[in-house]
Chains A and B, each alone.
Chain A
Amino acid sequence: MSRAWALATAMAVVAAACGNETPPLPPVTASPPFDPADAPMRRLLASQYTASIGVMFGATAAQVATPPGDNELHGYTTIGAAQLSMTDDLVATYEISARAVASAAMGEAARIAELLDCSPQGPGDRACMESFVGRAGRLAFRRPLAEEEVERFADVGMAASQQLGDFYAGVELAIVALLQAPSFLFVVETGSPIPAEPAKSRLDGYELAARMSLFLVGAGPDEALLDAVAAGELDTPEGVREAARSLLGDPRARAALRHFFDEYLVLRDLGTTSKDPSRFPSWSPALAASMREETMRLMADIVWKRDADLRELLTADYTFVDERLAALYGVDPPESGSSESGWARVTLPTAQGRSGLLTHASILSRQAHATSTSPTYRGLFVLERFLCKTMPSAPNDVVTELPPSSTAPTMRERLAVHLEDPSCASCHAPVDPIGLALENFDSIGEHRTKENGATIDASVDHPYLGSFDGAQSLALALLAREELASCIVRNLHRHATGHVETKGELPAIDALVAGFVAGGHRLQPLLVDLVSSELFRTVATVDGGLSE
């Protein structure tokens, strides 16, 4: 049933694509049946916390925010944020941050005046305090406040205002309280049960706007989006799509997508990856930063500049380099003055056989050891991140003895034991060959043809990806797999919602994948489809609807 639905959608998309020069995708009005997942409260990521404060009080206040760090789970910090609880340290850190932000916000007189929307008539002006709490609180809680909530936080403000004889001291303390409230720090997505299917709940417009805004621009909704919700504009799929397109046009969407790719491609700690200085004297934190930037520039070129087929991430024969990377890749550095940023688009040397992200120095360096490559790490990365396959870890008490390079000069020979010993081969057989196809790139991604004097052979037979020789044919083998399209959708969904997809959600994910494939694997339309889907808007009813 879901397959028929997916096919119908795909055909509709193709039809639309043929009929128009710039095809708008049809609104997703139907959805295959699926079982939504639980949506536990999700603590704001540090970046979302800071950006949300920017929305409320401006950049100066955001600058002094010092939220605690994030914890990653299953590859995403949003998943950690949805599963872990507060601790003494986190609460103490939020308090310090709230006081610093509130103090800085009071320096933003114009913004405070906007949020007040009244002229305080002395320290006893409760109406004006409530006006402030209502406006600032709506931004903080990503929804209008209930009457008792306005009272609660206005009480705090009035206590300080009257004790210190200063209305604005009251405003400051109200901010301190709002910024520590769980309703600000946690994204709450309970929705309301669907009458015909009470085990499923639909997010209301505010919850949807928050989920969407935090995902697409990395901050809570601004006033315009909240106003749109109040006007009912998010009640229809087309309204959601319109809001999503508008958010994607916001410059903050670029940073938010970088954040996703940073986690998806495991590049966040590239800067502290270390390399043996005697073998890789050019390695430095600055070089690592350039590598990471290269990957983000390729992504931005495909997604934002050209809205092109996302598979070009794996096949691109061009990339972006600064002076450092030009030296690493053996291409001409950007001409000085040719671009103010110091970066230039270059075509990669054909002889190196590079292929998109698979041969980006960032990923090759991150998935390698300090002294040598790691076909196992590289293979695991490709399987996990591009095909969504996981592997068990090495069992306890396993002997991980590899022969020395004096008797086995190439990594391929040293790793042969993984594939010859049956107890190793059961797991390593699908992993190592992928990495062996990338052996022409050393531990920092520099091209090489020999290792310890012996010629490198990058041709392999993979148990289910077929035979390939080097990065470019590996890319083609990956492109032939249908998991490739579903895996990026699944990863985006994990990051956006803070949970690993459940079996019950798969029909709805498959439908999104079908639309993504039919639409030419373009990420921007996928983002719009995702946030306007029933999948994105529906959660399991709290406690299965059994608590009441």
Chain B
Amino acid sequence: MSRRKLPHELKLGRRTLLRGALAGGLVAVGLPTLEAMLDDHGTRLASGAELPRRLLTWLFGNGCRLEHWVPATQGPDYALTAELAPLANVKGACSVLTGFRNYVAGRRGHHDGVAGIFSGHPFIQLDPMGAPYASKFGGPSIDQVVADVIGTETYIKSLQLGVSKRHLQNQGPTLATMSHRSPDQPLMAERDPGKLYDKLFMSFSPPDDPSAGLRALALDAVLEDAQSLKKRVSTSDRQRIDAHLESIFQLQKQILAIPPNCDVPQKPDVEPYNPDGTEPLYELNEAMARLLAMAFSCDLTRVASYMFTGASGGAQFHMLPPSEFPEYPGGTDYSHADHHNVSHINLPYEQDFIHKSVIVSMENLAFLLELLASIPEGTGSLLDQCAVLAASDVGEGWIHSEIDFPIVVAGGAGGRLKTGIGHYRSPSEESVTTISLACVQAVLPSPDDVPAIGGTLGVYDGYTDTPCAAIVA
């Protein structure tokens, strides 16, 4: 269980910010922010622009054991509980938020949860008429709301990554991914570190590549084809073609961008599965965390979602040893079991297993946060420039509870979020979306850029225009 290695320092190369000329506009291509480009105080770029702030949403599936999660006291000096203990090294940068409620809940456990906290929109239930159940998000997830504002300035608008491949894929987009541009645009996470590496560092056209212009030219014909198709199809299909057009524009921009001067790290080499068919969760998480830290640090993107394990997902916590329960001889080795299935069995052995799996999840979150905290940026660290919203899709896993989701907000978002508040427990069952909105607004140029998030559908109400006061600086 404690095979975790300390993140070693990322070696960053020369830092600069290049701008690529392109017909119709400029694409800023991300690079490590150059010390030489910082002003004398190291708090802004020499150009006067603020240091970039980043949003990261992070999911672990199937909730926690509240008795082992919720700290006994509030404030900065609270004692870490067993499930929060892995966050000890970044405790000061983390706010543990309990007692919040998901007001879009009431229809279908895990669907309610991810849609609630990561979008605030009640999910759309798709009428199955005898077909298997499915749902999709009711509106964009918060990472995409943010990407629309600050993602256009970077090489990649937003990144979606994941660790466990054993996430639920047969109940529609809601559970398949945590990032949704619109109800019909789920953005699937990359779970292969090698492929993520290629996407981040190998997809640039070399500056003197003559094919770049031709590739962009081919896309012009594709754009025209899309435009002419639009005339023949339905209103809803026209919207789908618009989405296609938007992505083609984005690709053209990328093809014509000048590649960043980012020191390309080593390509990660992690097998997707262990020889016994289980997943090397720690190793995959470490590789993904390093790539994400590099992408943020090089300013390739400022927005990411990170699905460590899926909502209602079947990750195997094969590293957990069988527990000893002499009074309960029915115990079984759950190291190969589907996490979600086990979570619903309210027996001592199974719930002890779930408890330990939450600790594993927090160890993996801690690795990522410690890594971000170890990378200097400006006068502080990369983590100081991030708003990280880490949460699960239900509270107490085995009953799908709608209150008391495990939620940790980490990072100061360049001073826009309070750090050092420790544990805060809502006295009034505030909406989880107030936390989401606070994280959204913290990374935007101005909170007014997105005054509210979420929506309502009958009694399900995730709309909020009030960011969580406990964490807004």
Q: Could you say which residues of chain A place their CB within 8 Å of the CB of B182?
A: 85
Q: Could you say which residues of chain B place their CB within 8 Å of the CB of A183?
A: 225, 229
Main SS class of interface, B: loop
Cβ of A425 < 8 Å from any Cβ of B?
Answer: no
Q: Determine whether the beta carbon of B226 is less than 8 Å from that of A188.
A: no
Cβ of A289 < 8 Å from any Cβ of B?
Answer: no
Q: Determine whether the beta carbon of B276 is less than 8 Å from that of A152.
A: no
Q: Could you say which residues of chain B place their CB within 8 Å of the CB of A90?
A: 247
Q: Determine whether the beta carbon of B170 is less than 8 Å from that of A182.
A: no
Q: List the 7 closest A-B pairs by CB distance, nearest first.
A: A74-B131, A404-B330, A388-B130, A177-B218, A91-B247, A86-B244, A85-B243
Q: Could you say which residues of chain A place their CB within 8 Å of the CB of B190?
A: 89
CB of B29 to closest CB in A, whole Å: 16
21 contacts between A and B (CB under 8 A): A41-B233, A71-B186, A73-B172, A74-B131, A74-B132, A88-B247, A91-B248, A92-B247, A176-B218, A180-B219, A182-B229, A276-B337, A285-B277, A369-B337, A370-B336, A388-B130, A389-B130, A390-B129, A406-B329, A500-B129, A543-B234
Q: Could you say which residues of chain A place their CB within 8 Å of the CB of B254?
A: 92
In the bound complex, CA of A149 to CA of B231 (Å): 14
- Encoded as 1 (CB less than 8 Å from any A CB) or 0, chain B from 342 to 353 comes to 001111000000
- Encoded as 1 (CB less than 8 Å from any A CB) or 0, chain B from 240 to 275 comes to 110110011011001000000000000000000000
CB of B405 to closest CB in A, whole Å: 13
- Encoded as 1 (CB less than 8 Å from any B CB) or 0, chain A from 524 to 548 comes to 0000000000000000001100010
Nearest B residue (CB) for A178 = B221
Q: Could you say which residues of chain A place their CB within 8 Å of the CB of B337?
A: 274, 276, 369-371
* A92, A274, A279, A494: residue with the most chain B Cβ atoms closer than 10 Å: A274
Q: Determine whether the beta carbon of B221 is less than 8 Å from that of A38.
A: no
Cβ of A159 < 8 Å from any Cβ of B?
Answer: yes
In the bound complex, CA of A221 to CA of B42 (Å): 62
Main SS class of interface, A: loop
Q: Could you say which residues of chain A place their CB within 8 Å of the CB of B330?
A: 404-406
CB of A198 to closest CB in B, whole Å: 15
Cβ of A4 < 8 Å from any Cβ of B?
Answer: no
Given contacts A84-B173, A396-B401, contact A173 B130 (CB under 8 A): no
Given contacts A85-B243, A156-B221, contact A72 B170 (CB under 8 A): yes
Given contacts A71-B173, A85-B243, A542-B234, contact A400 B130 (CB under 8 A): no
CB of B179 to closest CB in A, whole Å: 9
Cβ of B398 < 8 Å from any Cβ of A?
Answer: yes
In the bound complex, CA of A375 to CA of B443 (Å): 49
Q: Could you say which residues of chain B place their CB within 8 Å of the CB of A73?
A: 126, 134, 172-173
Cβ of B435 < 8 Å from any Cβ of A?
Answer: no
Nearest A residue (CB) for B349 = A404
| Tally of contacts, chain A with chain B, CB under 8 A | 236
Q: Determine whether the beta carbon of B399 is less than 8 Å from that of A398.
A: yes
Q: Which of B129, B225, B332, B402 contacts A182, CB < 8 Å?
A: B225
Q: Determine whether the beta carbon of A40 is less than 8 Å from that of B108.
A: no
Q: Which of A87, A487, A501 contacts B187, CB < 8 Å?
A: A87
- Encoded as 1 (CB less than 8 Å from any B CB) or 0, chain A from 78 to 100 comes to 01000111111111100100110
CB of A489 to closest CB in B, whole Å: 12
Cβ of A330 < 8 Å from any Cβ of B?
Answer: no
Q: Could you say which residues of chain B place their CB within 8 Å of the CB of A404?
A: 328, 330, 347
Cβ of A181 < 8 Å from any Cβ of B?
Answer: yes
Q: Determine whether the beta carbon of B229 is less than 8 Å from that of A390.
A: no
Cβ of A351 < 8 Å from any Cβ of B?
Answer: no
Cβ of A119 < 8 Å from any Cβ of B?
Answer: no
Q: Could you say which residues of chain B place their CB within 8 Å of the CB of A405?
A: 330
In the bound complex, CA of A272 to CA of B167 (Å): 11
- Encoded as 1 (CB less than 8 Å from any A CB) or 0, chain B from 198 to 220 comes to 01000100000010001101111
- Encoded as 1 (CB less than 8 Å from any B CB) or 0, chain A from 401 to 419 comes to 1101110000000000000
In the bound complex, CA of A171 to CA of B109 (Å): 53
Q: Determine whether the beta carbon of A92 is less than 8 Å from that of B341.
A: no
Q: Determine whether the beta carbon of B185 is less than 8 Å from that of A490.
A: no
Q: Determine whether the beta carbon of B185 is less than 8 Å from that of A92.
A: no
Nearest B residue (CB) for A41 = B237
Q: Determine whether the beta carbon of A173 is less than 8 Å from that of B214.
A: yes
Q: Which of A75, A85, A275 contacts B336, CB < 8 Å?
A: A275
Q: Determine whether the beta carbon of B186 is less than 8 Å from that of A180.
A: no
A-contacting residues, B176-193, CB 8 Å: 176, 181-182, 184-188, 190
Q: Determine whether the beta carbon of A396 is less than 8 Å from that of B105.
A: yes
Cβ of A266 < 8 Å from any Cβ of B?
Answer: yes
Cβ of A384 < 8 Å from any Cβ of B?
Answer: yes
Q: Could you say which residues of chain A place their CB within 8 Å of the CB of B334?
A: 276, 370-371
A interface residues (Cβ-Cβ under 8 A, vs B): 38, 40-41, 69, 71-75, 79, 83-92, 95, 98-99, 148-149, 152-153, 155-156, 159-160, 163-164, 173, 176-177, 180-183, 186, 188, 190, 266, 269, 272, 274-279, 284-285, 369-371, 384, 388-390, 393-394, 396-402, 404-406, 487, 490, 494, 500-503, 542-543, 547
Q: Could you say which residues of chain A place their CB within 8 Å of the CB of B277?
A: 272, 274, 284-285
In the bound complex, CA of A401 to CA of B185 (Å): 37
Cβ of B169 < 8 Å from any Cβ of A?
Answer: yes
In the bound complex, CA of A73 to CA of B184 (Å): 11
In the bound complex, CA of A72 to CA of B402 (Å): 27
Cβ of B278 < 8 Å from any Cβ of A?
Answer: yes
In the bound complex, CA of A83 to CA of B239 (Å): 11
CB of B224 to closest CB in A, whole Å: 5
Q: Could you say which residues of chain B place their CB within 8 Å of the CB of A272?
A: 165-166, 277
Q: Determine whether the beta carbon of A396 is less than 8 Å from that of B229.
A: no
Nearest B residue (CB) for A68 = B188
A-contacting residues, B10-33, CB 8 Å: none
Q: Determine whether the beta carbon of A84 is less than 8 Å from that of B184.
A: yes
Q: Could you say which residues of chain A place their CB within 8 Å of the CB of B157?
A: 88
Given contacts A85-B184, A92-B251, A276-B336, contact A190 B232 (CB under 8 A): yes
Given contacts A87-B243, A156-B221, contact A396 B106 (CB under 8 A): yes
Given contacts A40-B234, A397-B401, A543-B234, contact A88 B251 (CB under 8 A): yes
Q: Determine whether the beta carbon of A173 is less than 8 Å from that of B347.
A: no
CB of A42 to closest CB in B, whole Å: 10
In the bound complex, CA of A364 to CA of B255 (Å): 49
Q: Which of A95, A152, A396, A398 contacts B224, CB < 8 Å?
A: A152
A-contacting residues, B129-150, CB 8 Å: 129-134
- Encoded as 1 (CB less than 8 Å from any A CB) or 0, chain B from 82 to 116 comes to 00000000000000000000000110110010000
Q: Could you say which residues of chain B place their CB within 8 Å of the CB of A503?
A: 129
In the bound complex, CA of A277 to CA of B332 (Å): 11
If A152-B221, A384-B130 are given as contacts, then 12 extra A-B residue pairs at C-beta distance below 8 Å, sorted by A number, are A75-B170, A164-B210, A176-B215, A188-B229, A274-B278, A276-B332, A370-B341, A394-B400, A396-B112, A397-B400, A404-B347, A500-B127
Cβ of B333 < 8 Å from any Cβ of A?
Answer: yes
Cβ of B446 < 8 Å from any Cβ of A?
Answer: no
Q: Determine whether the beta carbon of A274 is less than 8 Å from that of B132.
A: no
Q: Determine whether the beta carbon of A274 is less than 8 Å from that of B338.
A: yes
CB of A38 to closest CB in B, whole Å: 7
Q: Could you say which residues of chain A place their CB within 8 Å of the CB of B346?
A: 399-401
Cβ of B235 < 8 Å from any Cβ of A?
Answer: yes
Q: Which of A88, A182, A390 contacts B241, CB < 8 Å?
A: A182
Q: Could you say which residues of chain B place their CB within 8 Å of the CB of A99?
A: 215
Q: Determine whether the beta carbon of A400 is less than 8 Å from that of B237.
A: no
CB of A71 to closest CB in B, whole Å: 7
Q: Could you say which residues of chain B place their CB within 8 Å of the CB of A149?
A: 225, 228
In the bound complex, CA of A390 to CA of B188 (Å): 27
Q: Could you say which residues of chain B place their CB within 8 Å of the CB of A72?
A: 169-170
Q: Determine whether the beta carbon of B187 is less than 8 Å from that of A277.
A: no
Q: Determine whether the beta carbon of B217 is less than 8 Å from that of A173.
A: yes
In the bound complex, CA of A74 to CA of B132 (Å): 5
Cβ of B236 < 8 Å from any Cβ of A?
Answer: yes
Q: Could you say which residues of chain A place their CB within 8 Å of the CB of B225?
A: 149, 152, 181-183
Q: Which of A159, A164, A277 contacts B276, CB < 8 Å?
A: A277
* A79, A182, A276: residue with the most chain B Cβ atoms closer than 10 Å: A182
In the bound complex, CA of A498 to CA of B430 (Å): 42
